[in-house]
Structure 1
Amino acid sequence: MTLPTETTARLHNLRPVGGLPTSSGEWVRDDLMWRSAAPFAARAHASDLIAGLGITCVIDLRDRGERDRTPGAWRHDDLAVREMPVFDDRLRDITFDGLPELYTYMTGDFAPSLVAAFAAIAEQAEQGVLIHCTAGKDRTGMLSAFVLDVLGVDRALILDDFAASQSHLGPEYLADLFADADVENLPGIVAHRATASPPELLADALDALECEYGSIAAFLLAHGVSQAQLESLRAALVVQGRRPKMPDAAATADQPR
């Protein structure tokens, strides 16, 4: 789906989770599940634009401290917001040397809250759902990968989709994220952690889960997702046959779902 320029200009890393083939020759819809970075204050009117895409539910994966930076960011009569902090409001207290260690925490100690967010996606997907954290790459990227994996998308395509965040998170994102800091003189490691989404990072995390549980679906089921929720997600997002021609976002932005 091609997004109108004004939409992507007001919400970093906004893109559908879909538009990809499955290993069985089906396609994942690209008009129902979306992902993005946080709606920073400088990105005005994001709520109207998101609702215009047919999204009815926003799942906010951030901790309370992160949410406090964007108070009242989602304000729209047609949007329900679910606050589901993956790190249980304890992200500030986690010490980690790099993103691989953070991912280990995410899928280990915080697996129950991560999987609870997946269950919420499954419940809301048919009505249109947006998931986001701060950058829309780590917590959001992991959950997007889970969705694509259980729908049968090839691993190489999942990794490509994950890595795409790096091209969507540039200087403008850093300027919004560090609005009160000198962006040009930020330590390199800070900027790297804020924008990096190398495919091997996700590959290693998924491989570790599959080694322990046998599959991503088995990991999800072991932490509370039901088989009915997996089937509901598939029914909502997977379509048969050739890739469908989805409505253009620019043409449907003002149309109700």
Structure 2
Amino acid sequence: MLTNCDNFRDMGGIKTHDGHVLKEKKIIRSGKLSNLNDDDVVFLEKYGLKHDVDFRSMSERKNEPDRIPASVRYHFAPVFPVDETRSGNDKWESRRNYYVDEQAAFKDMLDAYNDIVLQDCAKKAYREFFDVLLANDKDDESVLFHCSAGKDRTGMGAVYLLTVLGVDETVIRADYLASNKYLRGQQKKEEVRALQKGEIFAKNIFNLGSVSEHYLDCALGTMTREYGSIGEYLEKELKLSANEQEDLRKIYLK
């Protein structure tokens, strides 16, 4: 596995409700790839990585560009023009309400998850993600998709894909929440630093740096309210046809 990348995981082995299993070395999710060392880059090349889908904003990409093998095709698919998921916590230290309202960041994250569903740039990014997935139809070649922490923009990409593949909602939810386990070490470091500025600020930083069932429920609720269901959202807003969904199941399931 990678030594300098948070929240890196092959999604292979996840089971669908009808008994199929996601193939290994076909679809990978992770946090940012800017800190990879030479061994990490070699690992990805040997792993069969062919496509890197970057959901981050232009400024995130500029400040921390991906390190990937030369043979990998890079796809820039920003979900937001700027990072609405607040993965770069330093810039929020000047937010006064983060020191007096322990729900401030929680409310910001709910707004971000609403925007993940509703904003045209987000829909465009996830449609491009599916285009890359559909093109990855050769055996032993994989797609990696990521944002900064690999939990929100990446998390929703995984929710969409697993839904199309026919994975049970409880399993999808567990995969989404697993980011808290994979990011626990980083969260503890941020908590120690944040506590120096007070418990309320630390609570807000925790809410920025973790995933919550409330965040996922917010996105799913918005889809249901505005479009009928997540399935209808994928079909109507991401323009994912029934034939394309079947092709995805053929490519990624065994």
1:44 to 37, 50, 59: 37
Equivalence for 2:53: 59
Residue deviations 1:148-192, cap 9 Å, x none?
1111111011111100001111344786x9xxxx56646324532
Equivalence for 1:160: 174
What is the Cα deviation at residue 65 of structure 1? 0.7
2:251 to 209, 230, 236: 236
2:17 to 9, 18, 23: 23
What is the Cα deviation at residue 82 of structure 1? 0.4
More helix by share: 2
Equivalence for 2:159: 145
What is the Cα deviation at residue 38 of structure 1? 0.2
Residue deviations 1:18-58, cap 9 Å, x none?
422211122222320000000233x4233322222211000
Q: 2: distance between equivalents of 1:210 and 1:220?
A: 12
Segments of 5+ residues of structure 1 without an aligned counterpart are 240-257
TM-score w.r.t. length of structure 2: 0.77
Q: 2: distance between equivalents of 1:102 and 1:92?
A: 6
Does the Cα contact within 8 Å between 2:8 and 2:29 map onto a contact in 1? yes
Q: 1: distance between equivalents of 2:112 and 2:7?
A: 21
TM-score w.r.t. length of structure 1: 0.77
Paired residue type of 1:237: Y
Aligned residues: 227
Q: 2: distance between equivalents of 1:207 and 1:152?
A: 19
Query: What root-mean-square deviation, in Å, do the aligned CA atoms of Structure 1 and Structure 2 show?
Result: 2.9
Q: 1: distance between equivalents of 2:163 and 2:23?
A: 14
What is the Cα deviation at residue 123 of structure 1? 2.2
Paired residue type of 2:30: S
Q: Which structure carries more relative contact order (alpha carbon 8 Å, separation 6+)?
A: 1
Equivalence for 1:214: 228
Does the Cα contact within 8 Å between 1:33 and 1:125 map onto a contact in 2? no
- Identity among equivalent pairs (%): 25
Does the Cα contact within 8 Å between 2:14 and 2:21 map onto a contact in 1? yes
Q: 2: distance between equivalents of 1:230 and 1:47?
A: 31
Segments of 5+ residues of structure 2 without an aligned counterpart are 87-103
Paired residue secondary structure (1:56): strand
